[in-house]
Amino acid sequence: MCWIKRTKRLIRFTSLFQLSIIISFVWVFSVSVCAEQTDNPALPAVDLPDEPVVVDTAEMQIRVEIITEKLSHPWGLAFLPDGGILVTERDGRLRLVRGDRLSDEVIKGLPQVHAVGVAGLMDIALHPLFRENRWLYFTYSKPDADEVRVALGRGRLKGMSLSNVEDLFLSDILGGSGAAASRIVFGKDGSLYMTVGGAFGEEFGNRAQELTDTGGKVIRLNDDGSIPEDNPFAGQHNAKAEIYSLGHRNQLGLAINPETGEVWANENGPLGGDEINVITAGGNYGWPLVSYSRHYSGPRVASRSWQQGMEEAEIVWLPSIAPSGMTFVTSDLFPQWKNNVFVGSLRTGMIRNTGHLERIVFNDDGQEQHREWILSEFRQRIRDVRQGPDGLLYVLTDADDAALLRLSPAQ
């Protein structure tokens, strides 16, 4: 195992106390990184093409174009009114793409980020009135003494720097390496919705079910970080008023249904049982009391997949696809894809180099009709997908030398 090899190199140079700390850290790191990189089987890796290529899909041909391959583990993106694209990198950098070119200069002003393993700088969103107020919102893993929390920050973007940077929300303390996914989106009501993951494994018990703990929840806030008075648990004894829904494991995708205004979120199960949920005020989505998942060690997480008083998932994946960023397509440029949901996949069935873009089609009654894999031939981990103001789709891969892709109709 890779964590054992790393530990052996350090034994001769450390005291017993230091060694115990190192072993604990490396073990946590290995759970999130080593297993994925070395222990699991994999298809051969494939390099992205140097030139734009045309790809067949079930209903149309699309053109796949690489904008840049100089990103390091990007997490989220947002489109500026002047045509620029902001991209977060997990290590704590905020990058700017303008005119299909990645700027060498990094946007300054972000706070210190706990960038260890899969923790770090995550999602980004513009205030609905960004043109007037310049507020930029972001989520990140925040070091807090010897602990880590998920934070929601904001700052005013001017040129290549942020000012008036402040934290609007801090989660409860996370365990392990501090890895907990967080996405943000503004709803049609102007509220900001934020996911807080971190409800991993048996060692964290039922924290996703605890209303005094923000881990494993969807949070709802006003744009200034205050708590809406109509939140479902506002004013309730022994409950945190910012909680909007509970019973989530680790949510890597969040989007607003453009037709209904509903909040949709996807989350990763450990081994199978990934879900898309339609989030309702006060809804309990079951983790870990009900689940289709199994633990990485094999046993089932729960004895049942649903029970009375809990919300059923809209979509379930067996085997797991490790869903990530998610968007609805509304563009007239893709008439065959109108109102479809697109979800990034980091890998499928615990096999590396099997990431793809998954398209989910619904009938007129809103029920799932069929699914399609797109970009699977590139064998990339897909971290995020967004529809741009130009009506095209933009996709982030996840790697040391990751890419920003643009998808357009081949015609």
| 198-216 pLDDT tens trace | 998 655 679 999 999 999 9
Least confident of 6-20, 65-79, 206-220, 226-240: 6-20
Rounded to a whole number, what is the distance in angstroms from the first to the last CA of the chain?
49
- Name the amino acid, one letter, at 176: G
Of 262, 193, 254, the residue nearest 228 (C-alpha): 193
What are the C-alpha distances in Å from 145 to residues 114, 117, 173, 287, 333?
A: 11, 18, 11, 29, 49
Residue percentage of the chain with pLDDT more than 70:
89
User: Is pLDDT at 273 greater than 70 in this prediction?
Assistant: yes
pTM of the model: 0.90
Confidence band for 7, pLDDT divided at 50, 70 and 90: very low
| 69-92 pLDDT tens trace | 999 999 999 999 999 999 999 999
234 neighbors 197 (Cβ within 8 angstroms)? no
- Residue 201 or residue 219, greater confidence: 219
Exposed/middle/buried for residue 325 (C-beta within 10 Å: 0-12, 13-18, 19+): buried
pLDDT at position 204 is: 62
Residue percentage of the chain with pLDDT more than 90:
84
| 292-332 pLDDT tens trace | 999 888 999 999 998 999 999 999 999 999 999 999 999 99
Over residues 55-65, mean pLDDT: 97
Encoding tokens for residue 29? 């790191």
pLDDT mean across residues, the chain: 90
CA distance 15 to 156: 46
Length of the chain: 411
User: Is pLDDT at 280 greater than 50 in this prediction?
Assistant: yes
| 373-408 pLDDT tens trace | 999 999 999 999 999 999 999 999 999 999 999 999
Confidence band for 175, pLDDT divided at 50, 70 and 90: confident
- Residue 179 or residue 37, greater confidence: 179
